[in-house]
Structure formats: C-alpha cells, structure tokens
C-alpha cells in the first residue's frame, strides 16, 4: 500500500501518466467530495428511461436498482423510476435530466445523435467492438474519459449500465437476398446502422419501442431491429414479420447508459454518491448477464415454436453492409471533430484488443 502511495506521489510529481479506469474509480465528483455532515438529509430523485414502462430486464432491473439504493442508504436516497411517456416522452429523457426535470436517466447514447453526433459511438459501431471489448475500451482504453468529457457539456455524468451483447439483425416482412432489397425499405434502425440503410436506398426510422409493433403490423415500416430474441419475443414481432435475420451487424455490442444531472450528483453527500455508483455497477452487470442468458433461451423458444423463418444475411450482403458501414464511420469522423477524437480512440483500441479476443475466443469449428 505504502509502495503504491509512493509510486502515485512520485508519478504525480513527475507528471507521469497514471491510468485509473474511471468507470471503477470515479468521476470528478469524487475529488471534489460532497457535503459530509448531511447524513440525515433525504433526496427524492426521478429517473426517466427510454423504455416502455416496466420493460423486461431494463425496467425491472432499474426498479431493483432503486430498491437497492433505498435500502443501502436507509431511505435517504429514493429514486422513482418512470417508463418512457410517464413523465416525459422516451426520447426526451436526455433533455429531462440535462435540464433537471429528472435527476437520472437510463437510455442508449445513440438516441442523442441529434444533440451530438459523437454520442452514438458509445452505444455501438456497426461491425465494431463486442461488449467485452467495449467495456475494456471504456475502462482501460480512455473511452470513459471521452464519454465524460462529451456529456459534461450537457451537464451530465455518464455511466455504462447494461449491454445487450451482440444483437439480432432484425425482423423483415420480405427476404433480403441482395443489397437491392434494401432499396425503398422502411426500417426502424437507430444510430450509424440507420445511416447504412439510408445509403443503400432505404429509409431509417427512429421511433420509440412502444410504437414498433403497430408500425410493423400496419406497414408503416417494413422491417425493424430492436434488441434480441427475448425483447423481440415480448414485443411480439414474430406475430407480424416472418423473417428473423442475423447477425446483428448493426450492433455487435449494445451499451446502455445511466446519465446523472451533474448538479444533482454534486448535492449528494459522499456516502450516497458511493452507494449510487456501486448500485450502477451492480445493475450494469445484472442487465448484461440477464440479456445474455434470456436471449438464448428465447432464441430456442422461437425456434421450437416454429413460426419464424431464421435467415442469415447472404455473404455478399454482409460484405456490402461492412463496406458501407466503414464509409459511414469515416464520414462521421470527418464531419465532426468530437466524433473524430472518440472514433480514433475507439478504432485504435478495436484493432489493439482484437488480437487478444482472437487469441482467446477463436472457435475453430466455425472457421470457414
Ligand atoms: Ca438494436
């Protein structure tokens, strides 16, 4: 311990770089501390989310998050969780927390591409890093610092909170046999994946989850990608579209986030800050692992029920999607300096960590 302190002191004095993974260490607020003599003060927070009320996994885990915090803080920090549309519309949760209507939110950063094009990088990049790689980048590759810097402009503190892992490619009413089939296709697909579909002659629609089933059923959209077998099953998409495609090229990792109003966070005494951060870490893990387990369970369930035709995008389609994805990433990088800085870090780390992923995860049976 003493040795480490000496090292840190020396490093600080000499200006040597110290890399402390900031999702485990803490944000700036830790350094500034908080009021410590406010042990009996009570805080009532509102949490807005981008998900339908009581949404499986997200909604349920966030309720547990709120209960855990209330217990751990002995009732000093209470968080009322609202589904999308209950307090503010789903896609206004970012603004609601930024402006202080609510203190905390849960969503996915690619919903905020309209506020800052760079934000979407933290959810996913088509054909980019998987979940483990993304967590590694955030914690050890400088990604978290970039995310914090970006959100600080909005008076927000971000935290990764849940990952879908690799997603499915989506539900289609018609088969995709060639890239020509994307022409004129109206598809719900957010983020950079949506840009790819647009470039291929389709139109990308961003609508909240609550409208998706009806839109697909009525033909307002022809296709959609949402999450994975579990959520897709709960949403009932298998009742209104026949083809279920993989792989989820558009989201090899689907990082969701918690964002906290910086001022509200600063008002908390230091112990409540710590309780909150620990609860976020726990919820991050709980969401991710439930996703992983339930998605496979429901994939098997859909297969067993036998009403859905499982398809894989043909190889030439995947090759084109990848080529166009690279173009879209390059365009984002050249059009926005903030995005460039984050993408440079992301892409470098992707290249770097992939060697390790290949080393430990290569499954020779799947080699073609
Ligand atoms: Ca998705």
Q: How far, in Å, from the CA of 224 to the mean position of ligand 1?
A: 9
Q: How far is ligand 1, taken at its centre, from the CA of residue 223, in Å?
A: 12
- In whole angstroms, give the CA distance from residue 169 to residue 192: 14
In sign, the C-alpha dihedral spanning 160, 165, 166, 172 is: negative
pTM of the model: 0.88
**Sheet harboring 203-205: ordered strands across?**
203-205, 186-188, 223-224, 170-172, 243-246, 309-312
Ranges assigned E (strand) in 11-144:
43-49, 77-82, 104-107
End-to-end CA distance of the chain: 50
The domains of the chain, with CATH numbers, are: 7-166+253-294 (3.40.190.170), 170-251+307-360 (3.40.190.10)
189 C-alpha to ligand 1 centroid (Å): 7
Count CB-CB contacts under 10 A for residue 120. 25
Cα 265 to ligand 1 centroid, rounded to whole Å:
30
**Distance from the CA of 40 to the center of ligand 1, in angstroms?**
42
Separation between Cα atoms, residue 50 and residue 109, nearest integer Å: 10
Residue 289 Cα to ligand 1 middle (Å): 17
How far does residue 207's CA lie from ligand 1's centre (Å)?
Answer: 12
**Alpha carbon of residue 126 to chain centroid:** 13
Distance CA 184, CA 202 (A): 5
13 C-alpha vs ligand 1 centroid, how far in Å? 46
| Ligand 1 is an ion; residues with CB less than 5 A from it | 167, 225, 251
| Best CA proximity match to 77, nearest among 113, 109, 39 | 39
Q: Which residue has the tokens 């726990």?
A: 282
pLDDT tens across the length of the chain (368 residues): 444 445 444 444 444 444 444 554 544 444 444 444 557 899 999 999 999 888 999 999 999 999 999 999 999 999 999 999 999 999 999 999 999 999 999 999 999 999 999 999 999 999 999 999 999 999 999 999 999 999 999 999 999 999 999 999 999 999 999 999 999 999 999 999 999 999 999 999 887 778 899 999 999 999 999 999 999 999 999 999 999 999 999 999 999 999 999 999 999 999 999 999 999 999 999 999 999 999 999 999 999 999 999 999 999 999 999 999 999 999 999 999 999 999 999 999 999 999 999 999 876 665 55
**Left (φ > 0), alpha (ψ -120 to 50) or beta: where does 27 sit?**
beta
Question: 194: which 2 tokens?
Answer: 């949506």
What separation in Å is there between the alpha carbon of 228 and the centre of ligand 1? 8
In sequence order, the β-bridge partners of residue 311 are 245
Distance 70 CA to ligand 1 centre (A): 31
How far is the centre of ligand 1, averaged over its atoms, from the C-alpha of 252 (Å)? 9
Asked if 245 contacts 313 with a C-beta cutoff of 8 angstroms, the reply is: yes
């Amino acid at each position: 311990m003493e040795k480490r302190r000496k090292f840190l002191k020396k490093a600080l004095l000499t200006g040597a770089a110290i890399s402390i993974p900031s999702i485990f260490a803490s944000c700036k607020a830790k350094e500034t501390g908080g009021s410590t003599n406010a042990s009996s003060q009570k805080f009532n927070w509102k949490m807005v989310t981008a998900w339908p009320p009581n949404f499986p996994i997200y909604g349920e885990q966030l309720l547990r998050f709120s209960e855990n915090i209330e217990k751990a803080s002995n009732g000093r920090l209470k968080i009322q969780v609202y589904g999308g549309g209950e307090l503010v519309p789903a896609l206004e949760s970012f603004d609601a927390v930024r402006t202080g209507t609510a203190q905390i939110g849960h969503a996915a950063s690619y919903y905020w591409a309209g506020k800052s094009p760079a934000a979407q990088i933290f959810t996913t990049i088509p054909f980019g890093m998987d979940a483990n790689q993304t967590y590694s980048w955030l914690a050890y590759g400088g990604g978290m610092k970039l995310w914090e810097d970006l959100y600080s402009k909005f008076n927000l503190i971000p935290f990764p909170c849940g990952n879908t892992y690799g997603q499915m490619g989506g539900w289609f009413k018609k088969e995709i046999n060639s890239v020509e089939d994307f022409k004129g296709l109206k598809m719900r697909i957010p983020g950079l994946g949506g840009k790819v579909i647009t470039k291929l002659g389709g139109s990308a629609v961003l609508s909240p989850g609550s409208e998706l089933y009806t839109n697909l059923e009525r033909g307002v959209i022809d296709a959609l990608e949402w999450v994975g077998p579990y959520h897709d099953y709960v949403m009932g998409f298998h009742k209104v579209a026949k083809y279920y495609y993989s792989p989820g090229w558009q989201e090899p990792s689907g990082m969701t986030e918690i964002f906290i109003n910086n001022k509200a966070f600063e008002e908390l005494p230091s112990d409540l800050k710590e309780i909150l951060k620990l609860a976020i870490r726990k919820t991050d893990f709980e969401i991710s692992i439930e996703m992983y387990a339930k998605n496979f369970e429901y994939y098997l369930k859909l297969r067993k029920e036998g009403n859905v035709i499982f398809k894989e995008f043909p190889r030439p389609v995947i090759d084109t999607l990848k080529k166009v994805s690279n173009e879209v990433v390059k365009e984002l990088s050249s059009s926005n300096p903030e995005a460039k800085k984050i993408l440079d870090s992301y892409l470098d780390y992707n290249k770097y960590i992939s060697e390790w992923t290949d080393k430990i995860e290569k499954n020779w049976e799947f080699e073609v």
